[in-house]
Chain A
Amino acid sequence: MKQVLVCLLLLVGILGLSVQTVGITAIVEHPALDAVREGIIDVLEENGFKDGDNIVIDFQNAQGSVSTAVAIAKQFISLNAAVMVGIATPSAQALVNASKTIPVVFSAVTDPVSASLVPAFGKNPGNVVGISDMTPVKTQLQLLKLTLPDVETVGVIYNSGEANSVTIREFAKEACDALGLELIDITGSTTAEMVASLNAQINDVDAIYIGTDNTAASSIESISTVALREKIAIVAADIDIARSGGLIGFGFNYYQVGRATGELVVEILKGTPPSELETKILGQDSLILFVNTDIAEEIGVEIPQSVLDLANLIVTDGVETER
């Protein structure tokens, strides 16, 4: 009896070892980050890597805690994962620091260079590669200026505790200076603080710009209520944020970000070393332009026909149509 048990255990062990593990970890649960994960898993499946069949996909969420993110990274190492995927900056940093040999693919990190994940975009030596979600800040502010030519001051809402948002704010400052706009920081480290500082500064701004900020994403309902009451337009870098009361949204489809990440994972599972893959941003095909004409009417703004012509998603009379 004992021998049989030992044999069984050995068999399970050998089977367990022959299956590759893909460890995926994200810092928080969030519609955009969840879409990234779905994109990764879908691409893996399309390429014949199905969870439970020939690979094990181990997804762990750090629930916003950095110490949990570090624990998860160490756990993936002890499982001897074939590839580790880190979604958003702290999770990616935890993975990159935990191993210099196991391939690490990061995703949805705006500024992987400042986060010390890779020395530059493109091919890099080492075990790290990934997809950046650096959003076209300059273009978003140009859109704002084009649609709202009378605007003089732009309030940028972000959490100064989020690394991605601080980088975006720097680019926004640069673009505002070039466009002759005055930038006003509206910051808060929690949703409550953010709404309070918006209320305090709403009379000083002519328009609102929101980057890919997680805290702003969580408080967008309150933000848009305040903005609509004051008839102030919101231009957002995230389509989900724009959908909740924004005038214009121009940004990535996060599912596509996930798919691009998944392709890197597939390459690595097939044996390509990370040093031969490129760290990159997505191309313009993955960008979506969203326009809400209902909001335009409500706040008395006329959206130029040229912008409407290029829009991928238009909301009219409460119905969103894709083009």
Chain B
Amino acid sequence: MAILEQGLIIGLMALGVYISFRIVDLPDLTTDGSFALGAAVAVRALVSGLPAWVAIMLAALTGAIAGSITGTIHRKLKINVLLAGILVMTMLYSVNLRVMGGPNLPVPRVVPERATQSFEEMSGGTGLDSLFEELEIDTEKRESRTTVVAKNVFNNQLDGSDLLLIIVLISAVVVVLSVALKSDPGMTLRAFGSNPSGVVSFGISQNVLAIAGLTIANCVIGLSGGLFALYSGFSDATIGQGMVVTGLASVIMGEILLGRVKLFYGLLSPIVGGVIYQTLLSLAMRYGYRIGFLASDMKLLTAVFIITVIGLRQLSSSGGKRKMKQEVKRLWSNSKI
């Protein structure tokens, strides 16, 4: 059940990756940064005493802002989308440290009785004290900070309430997205993804569409980052590391299982993929050592998996093209006769 919970949250992140990579067809690497941004913002909001649902909304909102920045840099400044994503991701690392006020911010679950003390204050000596008669330092005691114990939405009791909450949230996101993407502007966005120059005839600027696509994608990613941080009980500077690859692997996993399907199921497929990917990951960690597999090999395997699947798809589709070419040639030669 724990794997299911985590898989669903990661699946939500994969849904964001699916939107940028598949629906609007822009390979967006902001993911690692916007996921961590969502996490940082959510915990910071909770620590400041805001209710959890506001924290999660703020996470989604800031994620969306990050996405719109990537989109703007890409379209207005004509910077390659990959580079734009990397640049924003890099900026977000610094931003996240600012938001958290340090590299790691826990959802307060205990009230500290007093501020952190140095080794010397706690131990009463290091055995070298005789050396420093002339260098004696008297450090005054630090003020204790006031911390509010925040009410987390997740109780981590595995009693199903966390799972229910996650499922409700994800269903809401999927329903809203599928309705939005079926509306006229949504249709245009999808059309933009499959044929960017084709939408010019619709009279909508490509810039607007690209920025909108990346904004929606990173909004979902920020939301999942916020959820993940609240679920884990803390946010860390490195929490977003490797998310874009995990997201891609989940998207591909979902496509293998469900195939390329209609919109609504298409939106569900990265979530299913995320759950399966997390399950495989934990099985690999659990039993992998028996075949000499180390947790550190996971990144290699994930990347090889993605390359293999994309490669196979490429080969089979180019095979298809070749057949078509032969067919055309045949018809051509026939017509000559």
Interface residues of A (CB under 8 A from B): 29, 60-68, 70-72, 74-75, 77-78, 89-90, 93-94, 96-100, 111, 113-121, 124, 126, 134-139, 142-143, 145-146, 159-163, 165-167, 171, 174-175, 178-179, 189, 250, 281, 283-285, 287, 289, 306-307, 310
Bound state CA distance, A61 and B6, in angstroms? 18
Name the one of A70, A93, A250, A281 contacting B6, with C-beta atoms under 8 angstroms.
Answer: A70
Stretch at the interface among B96-104, B176-184, B188-196, B253-261: B96-104
Contact A62 B295 (CB under 8 A): yes
- Top-9 shortest CB links A-B: A97-B233, A74-B2, A116-B106, A163-B104, A161-B237, A178-B137, A120-B113, A136-B119, A284-B127
Contact A136 B120 (CB under 8 A): yes
Contact B233 A134 (CB under 8 A): no
B306 in the interface, Cβ–Cβ < 8 Å?
no
Chain A residue nearest to B132 (CB atoms) is A142
Contact A145 B241 (CB under 8 A): no
Contact B298 A161 (CB under 8 A): no
**Chain B, 93-140, CB within 8 A of any chain A CB:** 93, 97, 102-104, 106-120, 122-123, 125-132, 135, 137-139
Stretch at the interface among B167-175, B199-207, B280-288, B321-329: B280-288
Write out the residue numbers on chain A whose beta carbons fall within 8 Å of the beta carbon of B1: 78
Contact B106 A70 (CB under 8 A): no
Write out the residue numbers on chain B whose beta carbons fall within 8 Å of the beta carbon of A78: 1-3
Given the known inter-chain contacts A94-B232, A166-B103, please indicate yes or no for A119 contacting B296, CB distance below 8 A.
no
B158 in the interface, Cβ–Cβ < 8 Å?
yes
- B116, B296, B299, most chain A CB atoms within 10 A: B116
B246 in the interface, Cβ–Cβ < 8 Å?
yes
Q: Per-residue CB proximity of B206-238 to A under 8 Å, as 1/0?
A: 000000000000000000000010011110111
- A63, A111, A143, A175, most chain B CB atoms within 10 A: A63
Given the known inter-chain contacts A160-B97, A284-B123, please indicate yes or no for A306 contacting B131, CB distance below 8 A.
yes
- B93, B127, B282, most chain A CB atoms within 10 A: B127
Given the known inter-chain contacts A67-B228, A310-B131, please indicate yes or no for A161 contacting B137, CB distance below 8 A.
no
Contact A115 B3 (CB under 8 A): no
Q: Per-residue CB proximity of B291-306 to A under 8 Å, as 1/0?
A: 0001110110000000
Contact B137 A111 (CB under 8 A): no
Distance in Å from the Cβ of A191 to the closest Cβ of chain B? 15
Contact B239 A67 (CB under 8 A): yes
B278 in the interface, Cβ–Cβ < 8 Å?
yes
Contact A119 B110 (CB under 8 A): yes
Distance in Å from the Cβ of A22 to the closest Cβ of chain B? 16
Chain A residue nearest to B135 (CB atoms) is A142
Contact A75 B232 (CB under 8 A): no
Chain A residue nearest to B35 (CB atoms) is A67
Given the known inter-chain contacts A64-B238, A65-B241, A93-B234, please indicate yes or no for A146 contacting B285, CB distance below 8 A.
no
Chain B residue nearest to A147 (CB atoms) is B131
Write out the residue numbers on chain B whose beta carbons fall within 8 Å of the beta carbon of A60: 285, 295
Contact A66 B131 (CB under 8 A): no
Chain B residue nearest to A252 (CB atoms) is B119
- A66, A72, A118, A138, most chain B CB atoms within 10 A: A66
Contact A250 B135 (CB under 8 A): no
Write out the residue numbers on chain B whose beta carbons fall within 8 Å of the beta carbon of A70: 6, 228, 231-232
Contact B128 A119 (CB under 8 A): no
B88 in the interface, Cβ–Cβ < 8 Å?
no
Write out the residue numbers on chain A whose beta carbons fall within 8 Å of the beta carbon of B296: 29, 61, 63
Chain A residue nearest to B122 (CB atoms) is A281
Given the known inter-chain contacts A119-B113, A136-B126, please indicate yes or no for A89 contacting B285, CB distance below 8 A.
no
B318 in the interface, Cβ–Cβ < 8 Å?
no
Contact A121 B122 (CB under 8 A): yes
Write out the residue numbers on chain A whose beta carbons fall within 8 Å of the beta carbon of B3: 71, 74-75, 78
Bound state CA distance, A283 and B122, in angstroms? 10
Contact B232 A64 (CB under 8 A): no
In the complex, given contacts A63-B295, A71-B281, A120-B112, what are 14 additional A-B residue pairs having Cβ atoms less than 8 angstroms apart? Answer: A66-B236, A70-B228, A75-B282, A94-B234, A98-B2, A113-B115, A116-B112, A137-B118, A166-B103, A175-B139, A179-B137, A250-B128, A284-B126, A307-B131
Contact B112 A146 (CB under 8 A): no
Write out the residue numbers on chain B whose beta carbons fall within 8 Å of the beta carbon of A29: 296
Contact A75 B285 (CB under 8 A): yes
Contact B137 A175 (CB under 8 A): yes
16 contacts between A and B (CB under 8 A): A70-B6, A71-B278, A75-B2, A75-B3, A75-B286, A78-B3, A89-B104, A90-B234, A93-B106, A114-B112, A136-B119, A136-B120, A178-B139, A250-B128, A306-B130, A307-B131
